[in-house]
Structure 1
Amino acid sequence: MRVIWCGFALGVIALQRQVALPGRGAWVGLVLAILLAAGWALWALGATAPADESRVSGFLGERRWRTASGWAAVWLAAGCAGFGYAAWRAELRLAQVLPAAWQTRDLYVTGYIASLPSYGANGASFLFRVESWEANKEAHKATTRLPQLIQLSWVAREAPLPPLVPGARWRLALRLKRAHGNGNFGLRDMEAALLARGVRATGYVSDLEHAVRLHVDASGIGVRIELARAALRARIDAVLGDAPHRGIVIALATGAQDAVSDADWRLMRNTGTSHLVAISGLHLAFVAGLAGWGAGALWRRARWRGIEAPLFVPAQKVAVAGALLAAGIYAALAGFNVPVQRALWMLAVAALALFAGREVARSHVLAWALGLVLLRDPWAVTAAGFWLSFCAVGAILFAASGVPRLHRDAPQPLSADDADPMRDRAEPTAEPTARDGWLRRLAAMAFPPGGWREGMRRIASRLGDSARVQWAVTLALAPLTACWFAQIPLIGPFANAFAIPWVSMLVTPLVIGSAALPAPIDAFALRAAHTCLDGLAEALGALEGLPWAVLRLPQPGGWPLACAAVGVAWCLAPRGWPLRWLAPFTWLPLLVPAPTGPPPGAFRLTALDIGQGTSVLIETARHRLLFDAGPGPESTQAGERIVVPYLQAHGIGRLDALMISHDDSDHSGGAQAVLDAVEVREFVAGILPAHPLWASARAKGAQTVQCAAGQRWRWDGVDFEVLWPDPGPLAGKPNAHCCVLRVTTAVSAARETQAGPVSALIAADIEAGVERTLVARDPVRLRAQVLVVPHHGSRTSSTEPFLDSVWPLVAIFQVGYLNRFHHPYPGVYARYAARHIVLARSDADGAARVEAKPGALTVERFRDTQRRYWMDPPTQD
Structure 2
Amino acid sequence: MVPVAAVACVAAALGTSDHPRLILAAAAGCLVATMIAAWRTKWLVVVAALVGLSVLATSGMRNHIVHDMGVAELADAGAMATLTGRVTVEPRTFEGDGPGGSTVMITLAVSRVATEDRVVKQATQVVVMATGARSAPASKLAVGDHVEVRGLLTPPRPGRAESAVVKLRSPPKVVARPGPLDRAVNHFRAGLVTAVAGCPDGQRAIVPSLVLGDTTAVSDDMSDDFRVTALTHLMAVSGANLASTTALVWWIGAWCGMKRRGLRVLSVIGVVGFVVVCRAEASVVRAAAMGAVAMAATGVSFDRRGGVRTLAVAVTGLMLVDPWLVRSVGFWLSACATAGILWWAQPWASAMAWAPTWLAAAVTVPWAAQLATQPVVTWMAGSVSTTGLVANLAAAPFVPPASALGMTAALVALIWPPLAVPLGRLAGWCVQPIIWIAHLGAKAPAGLLTWPVTGTAIAVLGGLCLGLALMTPTVLARPWLTTLAGLVILAATVVRPPVAGWPGTWQVAVCDVGPGSAALVRAGPRAAVVVDTGPDPGRLGRCLDDLDVDQVPMVVLSHDHPDSVGGFDVISDHGPTTTVVVPALSSAQGVATPVGQTAARLGAQVIAAHSGQVMTVGTARLELFASHPLVDAEAPQGEPVGENTSRLIVKVTVEGLRVLLAGDAEPDAQRHLLTGHADLSSDVLVIARRESSHEDGDFWAATGASVAVMSAGTSNSSGRSSHQAASLAATMGMQVHSTGEEGTVLLARRGETVLVQTRS
Tell me whether the two structures share a fold, i.e. TM-score over 0.5: yes
**CA distance in structure 2 between the partners assigned to 1:337 and 1:773 by the alignment:** 53
Q: Which residue of 2 aligns with 1:367?
A: 312
**CA distance in structure 2 between the partners assigned to 1:539 and 1:790 by the alignment:** 33
Gap change, CA 1:81 and 1:701, over 3 Å in 2: farther
Match 1:329 to one of 263, 266, 273: 273
| 1:362 Cα deviation after fit | 0.9
Contact 1:127–1:152 (8 Å) recurs in 2: no
Match 1:166 to one of 143, 149, 152: 143
Larger gyration radius, structure 1 or structure 2: 1
* Corresponding position: 1:531 with 2:435: no
Aligned Cα root-mean-square deviation (Å): 6.3
Match 2:596 to one of 689, 695, 720: 695
Contact 1:169–1:213 (8 Å) recurs in 2: yes
**CA distance in structure 1 between the partners assigned to 2:126 and 2:116 by the alignment:** 20
Contact 2:128–2:167 (8 Å) recurs in 1: yes
Contact 1:543–1:549 (8 Å) recurs in 2: no
Gap change, CA 1:120 and 1:812, over 3 Å in 2: closer
Contact 2:75–2:155 (8 Å) recurs in 1: no
**CA distance in structure 1 between the partners assigned to 2:626 and 2:474 by the alignment:** 67
Which SS does the other structure have where 2:128 is aligned?
A: strand
Gap change, CA 1:218 and 1:396, over 3 Å in 2: closer
Contact 1:114–1:128 (8 Å) recurs in 2: yes
**CA distance in structure 1 between the partners assigned to 2:55 and 2:530 by the alignment:** 43
| 1:364 Cα deviation after fit | 0.4
Gap change, CA 1:395 and 1:786, over 3 Å in 2: closer
**CA distance in structure 1 between the partners assigned to 2:133 and 2:371 by the alignment:** 46
Q: Which residue of 1 aligns with 2:450?
A: 554
Match 1:567 to one of 464, 481, 493: 464
**CA distance in structure 2 between the partners assigned to 1:799 and 1:361 by the alignment:** 60
Contact 2:15–2:23 (8 Å) recurs in 1: no
| 1:361 Cα deviation after fit | 0.7
* Corresponding position: 1:256 with 2:214: yes
Identity of aligned residues (%): 19
**CA distance in structure 1 between the partners assigned to 2:571 and 2:380 by the alignment:** 18
Contact 2:341–2:365 (8 Å) recurs in 1: yes
Contact 1:617–1:626 (8 Å) recurs in 2: yes
Contact 1:110–1:133 (8 Å) recurs in 2: yes
| 1:368 Cα deviation after fit | 1.6
Match 2:625 to one of 713, 724, 739: 724
**CA distance in structure 2 between the partners assigned to 1:399 and 1:791 by the alignment:** 44
Q: Which residue of 2 aligns with 1:201?
A: 165
Match 2:412 to one of 480, 493, 517: 517
Match 1:112 to one of 80, 86, 96: 86
Give structure 1 stretches of 5+ with no counterpart: 48-69, 181-190, 301-314, 409-456, 631-638, 748-756, 776-780, 818-823, 825-831, 860-877
Gap change, CA 1:760 and 1:85, over 3 Å in 2: farther
| 1:628 Cα deviation after fit | 6.2
Match 1:377 to one of 295, 315, 322: 322
| 1:324 Cα deviation after fit | 1.7
* Corresponding position: 1:22 with 2:19: yes
Residue-by-residue CA offset, 1:810-853 (whole Å, 9 max, x unaligned): 89999999xxxxxx9xxxxxxx99xx9559999xxx99999885
- AA aligned to 1:128 is L
Gap change, CA 1:484 and 1:687, over 3 Å in 2: farther
**CA distance in structure 1 between the partners assigned to 2:51 and 2:497 by the alignment:** 38
Match 1:282 to one of 233, 236, 240: 240
Contact 1:250–1:257 (8 Å) recurs in 2: yes
**CA distance in structure 2 between the partners assigned to 1:276 and 1:150 by the alignment:** 26
- AA aligned to 1:507 is A
| 1:232 Cα deviation after fit | 1.7
* Corresponding position: 1:232 with 2:188: yes
**CA distance in structure 2 between the partners assigned to 1:470 and 1:851 by the alignment:** 39
Residue-by-residue CA offset, 1:117-171 (whole Å, 9 max, x unaligned): 447887965323334344322xx59x99897423243867899889633333334
| 1:6 Cα deviation after fit | 2.5
- AA aligned to 1:35 is L
* Corresponding position: 1:464 with 2:440: no
Is 1-10 or 557-566 further displaced after alignment? 557-566
- Structure 2 matches for 1:89-104, cutoff 5 A? 89-95=62-68, 96=72, 98-99=74-75, 102=78
| 1:570 Cα deviation after fit | 2.9
Q: Which residue of 1 aligns with 2:110?
A: 130
Contact 2:111–2:123 (8 Å) recurs in 1: no
- Structure 2 matches for 1:738-749, cutoff 5 A? 738-743=647-652, 746-747=655-656
* Corresponding position: 1:507 with 2:415: no
Q: Which residue of 2 aligns with 1:397?
A: 342
- Structure 2 matches for 1:637-648, cutoff 5 A? none
| 1:380 Cα deviation after fit | 3.1
- Structure 2 matches for 1:449-848, cutoff 5 A? 460-478=356-374, 480-485=376-381, 490-497=386-393, 499-504=395-400, 506-517=401-412, 521-534=416-429, 536-538=431-433, 540-541=435-436, 544-545=439-440, 548=444, 551-557=447-453, 558-573=455-470, 592=497, 594=499, 600=505, 659-662=556-559, 668-675=561-568, 684-688=581-585, 690=588, 691-692=592-593, 694-695=595-596, 698=599, 706=607, 709-712=613-616, 721-724=622-625, 731-732=633-634, 738-743=647-652, 746-747=655-656, 760=660, 762=662, 764=665, 766=669, 771=674, 773-774=676-677, 782-784=680-682, 837=732
Gap change, CA 1:351 and 1:275, over 3 Å in 2: closer
Which SS does the other structure have where 1:573 is aligned?
A: helix
Contact 2:148–2:173 (8 Å) recurs in 1: yes
Q: Which residue of 2 aligns with 1:3?
A: 3
TM-score by length of 2: 0.69
**CA distance in structure 2 between the partners assigned to 1:271 and 1:465 by the alignment:** 20
Contact 2:197–2:204 (8 Å) recurs in 1: yes
Contact 1:272–1:491 (8 Å) recurs in 2: yes
Contact 1:116–1:226 (8 Å) recurs in 2: no
Gap change, CA 1:384 and 1:350, over 3 Å in 2: closer
Contact 2:290–2:335 (8 Å) recurs in 1: no
**CA distance in structure 1 between the partners assigned to 2:690 and 2:398 by the alignment:** 51
Give structure 2 stretches of 5+ with no counterpart: 96-101, 636-640, 716-721, 723-727
Gap change, CA 1:343 and 1:144, over 3 Å in 2: closer
Gap change, CA 1:6 and 1:218, over 3 Å in 2: same
**CA distance in structure 2 between the partners assigned to 1:295 and 1:333 by the alignment:** 20
Gap change, CA 1:217 and 1:812, over 3 Å in 2: same
Q: Which residue of 2 aligns with 1:243?
A: 199
| 1:323 Cα deviation after fit | 0.9
Match 1:149 to one of 98, 121, 126: 126
**CA distance in structure 2 between the partners assigned to 1:465 and 1:487 by the alignment:** 26
**CA distance in structure 2 between the partners assigned to 1:86 and 1:178 by the alignment:** 22
| 1:618 Cα deviation after fit | 8.0
- AA aligned to 1:114 is T
Q: How many residues align?
A: 696
Q: Which residue of 2 aligns with 1:58?
A: none
Gap change, CA 1:703 and 1:225, over 3 Å in 2: farther
**CA distance in structure 2 between the partners assigned to 1:671 and 1:380 by the alignment:** 37
Contact 1:813–1:840 (8 Å) recurs in 2: no
